[in-house]
């Protein structure tokens, strides 16, 4: 049976941990509202950009269209852009991204393709470990949270486009956590090159609108495709940032509750041990008095 001093020390330690997790929960909750608003506000821009690209692509000549739009016929090397957090203590947020990334790496290699990885955030790289030591295309940290801006997404997109044009890879896709609500994050895998285009809406639909473009579609696409990549990456960063804060808030709330339960159990053991010691001392005193 542990002594009272050890139990008291452990109770104090768990109480300190509970205060830390409670503070982290409140900080994440305070930041989540702004991050959620940013993610939800960015969705219409990303969706409308995709709709414009899809409309232009429908009338573009596939044989002469930009490779940023239709990709390359032979895909030998695939670039995975993996967006994770720079910090931990957010439940399964980083682990889910790392698992999907590992699954995609294995799938692509099974198809005979080589894989390169662009890490945005530190934790996914740490989780994959030595498995990606010779496959890393680039790594960037500190672009999320308070440092998150469209300039960061533009720099990432510019590096990807440069690598694609230099022939370092033939296709690009991104893996990130999409924010659903405070307790749910959805791991998402979507293509950047070739551009992911949703199925066209029915012609009879009220929202199926056709446009005439000037200048020509090819010229507009050459200007819009790099912008589209920056927009999609920025949207993914916003979604990932909000999902990270939601996951951390939930994880710290669970940790705070678990710490409270542990404190209750330890306090019960402490009281029982203390009572047992008092009873033992009383028995010794009574036994000594009777012996006299």
Question: Which member of 32, 39, 90, 98 is catalytic?
Answer: 90
DSSP string, the chain: ---HHHHHHHHHHHHHHHHHHHHHHHHHHHHHHHHHHHHHHHHHHHHHHHHHHHHHHHHS-TTTS-HHHH--SS--EEEEEEE--SS--STTHHHHHHHHHHHHHHHHHHTT-EEEEEEESSHHHHHHGGGGTTTEEEEE-S-SGGG--HHHHHHHHHHHHHHHHTTS-SEEEEEEEEEEETTEEEEEEEEEETTP-PPPPPTTSTT------SS-HHHHHHHHHHHHHHHHHHHHHHHHHHHHHHHHHHHHHHHHHHHHHHHHHHHHHHHHHHHHHHHHHHHHHHHHHHH-
Q: What is the dihedral of CA 102, 105, 106, 107, to 10 degrees?
A: 120
240 a catalytic residue = no
Q: Which residues are part of the catalytic machinery?
A: 90
């Amino acid at each position: 049976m542990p002594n009272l001093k050890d139990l008291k020390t452990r109770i104090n330690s768990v109480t300190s941990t509970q205060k830390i997790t409670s503070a982290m929960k409140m900080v994440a909750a305070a930041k989540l509202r702004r991050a959620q608003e940013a993610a939800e506000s960015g969705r219409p821009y990303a969706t409308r950009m995709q709709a414009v690209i899809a409309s232009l692509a429908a009338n573009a000549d596939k044989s002469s269209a930009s490779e940023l739009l239709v990709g390359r016929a032979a895909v030998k090397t695939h670039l995975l852009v993996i967006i994770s957090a720079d910090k931990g203590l957010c439940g399964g947020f980083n682990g889910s991204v790392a698992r999907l990334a590992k699954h995609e790496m294995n799938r692509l290699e099974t198809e005979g393709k080589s894989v390169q990885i662009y890490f945005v955030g530190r934790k996914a790289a740490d989780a994959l470990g030595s498995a990606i030591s010779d496959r890393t295309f680039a790594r960037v940290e500190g672009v999320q949270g308070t440092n998150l801006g469209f300039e960061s997404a533009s720099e990432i997109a510019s590096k990807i486009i440069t690598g694609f044009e230099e022939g370092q890879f033939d296709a690009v896709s991104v893996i990130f956590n999409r924010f659903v609500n405070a307790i749910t994050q959805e791991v998402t895998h979507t293509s950047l090159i070739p551009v992911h285009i949703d199925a066209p809406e029915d012609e009879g639909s009220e929202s199926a609108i056709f446009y005439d473009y000037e200048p020509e579609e090819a010229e507009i696409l050459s200007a819009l495709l790099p912008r589209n990549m920056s927009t999609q990456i920025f949207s993914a960063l916003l979604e990932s940032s909000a999902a990270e804060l939601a996951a951390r808030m939930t994880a710290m709330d669970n940790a705070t509750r678990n710490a409270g339960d542990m404190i209750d159990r330890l306090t019960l053991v402490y009281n029982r041990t203390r009572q047992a010691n008092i009873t033992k001392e009383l028995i010794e005193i009574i036994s000594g008095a009777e012996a006299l």
